[in-house]
Chains A and B, each alone.
Chain A
Amino acid sequence: MADEPADDLKTVVLNDKHIALGGRMVPFSGYSLPVQYSAGIIAEHKWTREHAGLFDVSHMGPSFLVLDDKSGDGEAEHAAVAEVVEPLICGDIRGLKPGQIRYTLLLNDQGGTYDDLMIARPAAEGWGGALYIVVNAGTKEADFQRIATAALGRATLNRSDHCALLALQGPEAAAVIDAIVPAAAELGFMHYGSFDWRNTKLVISRSGYTGEDGFEILVDPEHAAAFWDTLLADARVKPIGLGARDSLRLEAGLPLYGHDLDETISPVEAGLNFAISRRRREAADFPGAQRILAELGGVLERVRVGLTVEGAPAREGAAILDQYGAEIGVVTSGGFAPTLSRAIAIGFVPPDHAAPGTRLQVLVRGKAQPAEAVATPFVPHRYVRKASK
């Protein structure tokens, strides 16, 4: 229960708002951010699953990669900017349609993961040759440097991490957005656009990391507080801290970089085969292609698995044992699932121990507890593929 040092922490644009709302501020990826507000993590988690939760994720790394020389031909410009980033990742960026977002991975030459990220193609006229790229907080300096270096002489990476990035998540998120920025409520899942709001532009994505329908909104620092207040003025919206964000994403079975993904873990091991685009597989032109294609062919030493755990939560670092007690893997994220009222975990085990229903054990404080491999997500996703109106 020791207090963590608060020195050298960066603050987000909405820092004063969080403190005024009773947010418990903790160090998180170099920033001071609210882990919870007064309602507590479980109440905030449940509110998000039932209504709409508002998260400040301004520590993350939003940016725009923009071609230096525009030809005026939107398709050619898109192909040119896609060519800048594709050598770093395993996704098909060239194939993105205007307004479409893709989840992809920044890979090292051994096929390990530098980061997982979102890359989007603008829909608006005159925005050919640009990509909206959002990377993780903990890796953003290195990510930005990699992308900027790859782009040298062809495109420029403009950081937007001085802005506020908010996530509005939950079954009532669309109705809330519809009342404030009606056009944005018409976005389909994994699409984004730029929208006018009170003489500023909001960049709004229909995406998130809680398993719920929702939106992520980039707003400039001057308008951030007013937009935050406008969202919170809706009775369906409550501020939610990063504690519940983590339990929500764990229930959604989504990997967290630095825990379930790192420089040794490949996208195939992490169960992210969908992120390795078909065109890129056929071309075998991404970092670590040799390993990753072999893994796709079945040569795998470990895979990511979901676990239900009896008893105490098994947290990151807990050993995973087979039913006879032999150590076979490790938990990479684990905790209590408020929706399920039980302990769940994500970890890595050999593929022959990963089938749902496999009986396993986890070692918590020296004691083996029963666990079972299960399919993820633990709580079904409720993404809205198509706009309802």
Chain B
Amino acid sequence: MTKFTKDHEYITADGTVGITPYAQEQLGDIVYVELPKVGQKLKAGDEAAVVESVKAASEIYSPVSGTVTAVNEALSGEPGLINSSPEADGWIFKLQLDDAGELDGLMDAAAYAELTK
């Protein structure tokens, strides 16, 4: 089950992290993505990536603690994938979770929908 942060990141059951459709819509055209490194250890709330739109840079925080197991290299050549497909082709990185229990502290889809209403 996909979970959400108040900063508009999502994390799926397999640890895939990206930004929500709402977030990409707010940011506008994404022109550059700075990815984390595979093997990098992150604590919940650590800055993991940077997504730059035409107008501004936005930090992407790790929703939970874990180790980066993969990054979406396709974003280097085509950062607009985050706009066109935020929840599939536009994923940003994958995490191996330290403690799956941390997911309980995040919002479910209904709570997130309420936040962005």
Which A residues lie at the B interface, using CB under 8 A?
1, 35-36, 40-43, 243, 247, 311-313, 315, 335-336, 338, 343, 365
CB–CB B28/A343 < 8 A: no
For the complex, is B58 an interface residue (Cβ under 8 Å from A)? yes
Contact of A243 among B7, B32, B54 (CB under 8 A): B54
Q: Please, how many angstroms separate the alpha-carbon atoms of A365 and B8 in the complex?
A: 22
B23 nearest in chain A by CB position: A1
CB–CB B54/A247 < 8 A: yes
The residues of B that contact A40 with a CB separation of less than 8 Å are: 28-29, 83
CB 8 Å contact bits of B21-61 with A (1 = contact, 0 = none): 00100111101101000000000000000101111111000
- Write the nearest CB–CB distance from B107 to chain A, whole angstroms: 16
CB–CB B55/A312 < 8 A: no
The residues of B that contact A243 with a CB separation of less than 8 Å are: 28, 54-55
CB–CB B32/A365 < 8 A: no
- Write the nearest CB–CB distance from B38 to chain A, whole angstroms: 18
CB–CB A42/B29 < 8 A: yes
B8 nearest in chain A by CB position: A1
A367 nearest in chain B by CB position: B34
Given the contacts A1-B58, A41-B55, A243-B55, A312 and B50 also touching, CB distance less than 8 Å: yes
- Write the nearest CB–CB distance from A208 to chain B, whole angstroms: 20
Q: Please, how many angstroms separate the alpha-carbon atoms of A332 and B80 in the complex?
A: 26
**8 A-B pairs with C-beta separation under 8 A:** A36-B28, A40-B28, A243-B55, A312-B34, A312-B50, A335-B55, A336-B52, A365-B57
Given the contacts A1-B26, A41-B28, A336-B31, A315 and B54 also touching, CB distance less than 8 Å: no
The residues of B that contact A311 with a CB separation of less than 8 Å are: 32
Specify which of B27, B29, B54 lies most central, judged by the most chain A CB atoms within 10 Å of its CB.
B54
- Write the nearest CB–CB distance from B53 to chain A, whole angstroms: 8
A38 nearest in chain B by CB position: B25
Q: Please, how many angstroms separate the alpha-carbon atoms of A313 and B34 in the complex?
A: 11
Q: Please, how many angstroms separate the alpha-carbon atoms of A343 and B33 in the complex?
A: 13
CB–CB A335/B54 < 8 A: yes
The residues of A that contact B50 with a CB separation of less than 8 Å are: 312, 365
11 additional contacts, CB 8 Å, given A1-B27, A243-B54? A1-B23, A1-B26, A36-B28, A40-B29, A41-B55, A243-B55, A336-B52, A343-B31, A343-B32, A365-B50, A365-B57
Q: Please, how many angstroms separate the alpha-carbon atoms of A41 and B56 in the complex?
A: 12
Contact of B52 among A1, A312, A338 (CB under 8 A): A312
- Write the nearest CB–CB distance from B94 to chain A, whole angstroms: 22
Contact of A313 among B29, B32, B83 (CB under 8 A): B32
Q: Please, how many angstroms separate the alpha-carbon atoms of A36 and B83 in the complex?
A: 15
CB 8 Å contact bits of B4-26 with A (1 = contact, 0 = none): 00011000000000000001001
- Write the nearest CB–CB distance from B79 to chain A, whole angstroms: 10
Given the contacts A1-B23, A312-B32, A313-B32, A41 and B54 also touching, CB distance less than 8 Å: yes
Contact of A336 among B7, B26, B32, B34 (CB under 8 A): B32
The residues of B that contact A336 with a CB separation of less than 8 Å are: 31-32, 52, 54
B47 nearest in chain A by CB position: A365
B34 nearest in chain A by CB position: A312
B31 nearest in chain A by CB position: A336
Q: Please, how many angstroms separate the alpha-carbon atoms of A243 and B32 in the complex?
A: 17
Q: Please, how many angstroms separate the alpha-carbon atoms of A42 and B83 in the complex?
A: 12
The residues of B that contact A42 with a CB separation of less than 8 Å are: 29, 31, 54
Q: Please, how many angstroms separate the alpha-carbon atoms of A312 and B76 in the complex?
A: 10
* Nearest 9 pairs of A and B residues by beta carbon: A336-B31, A42-B29, A41-B54, A40-B29, A312-B32, A336-B54, A41-B29, A40-B28, A1-B26
- Write the nearest CB–CB distance from B56 to chain A, whole angstroms: 8
The residues of A that contact B7 with a CB separation of less than 8 Å are: 1
Q: Please, how many angstroms separate the alpha-carbon atoms of A338 and B58 in the complex?
A: 19
Q: Please, how many angstroms separate the alpha-carbon atoms of A35 and B8 in the complex?
A: 22
- Write the nearest CB–CB distance from A247 to chain B, whole angstroms: 6
The residues of A that contact B29 with a CB separation of less than 8 Å are: 40-43
The residues of B that contact A313 with a CB separation of less than 8 Å are: 31-32, 52, 57
- Write the nearest CB–CB distance from B82 to chain A, whole angstroms: 13
A244 nearest in chain B by CB position: B54
- Write the nearest CB–CB distance from A190 to chain B, whole angstroms: 29
The residues of B that contact A338 with a CB separation of less than 8 Å are: 54
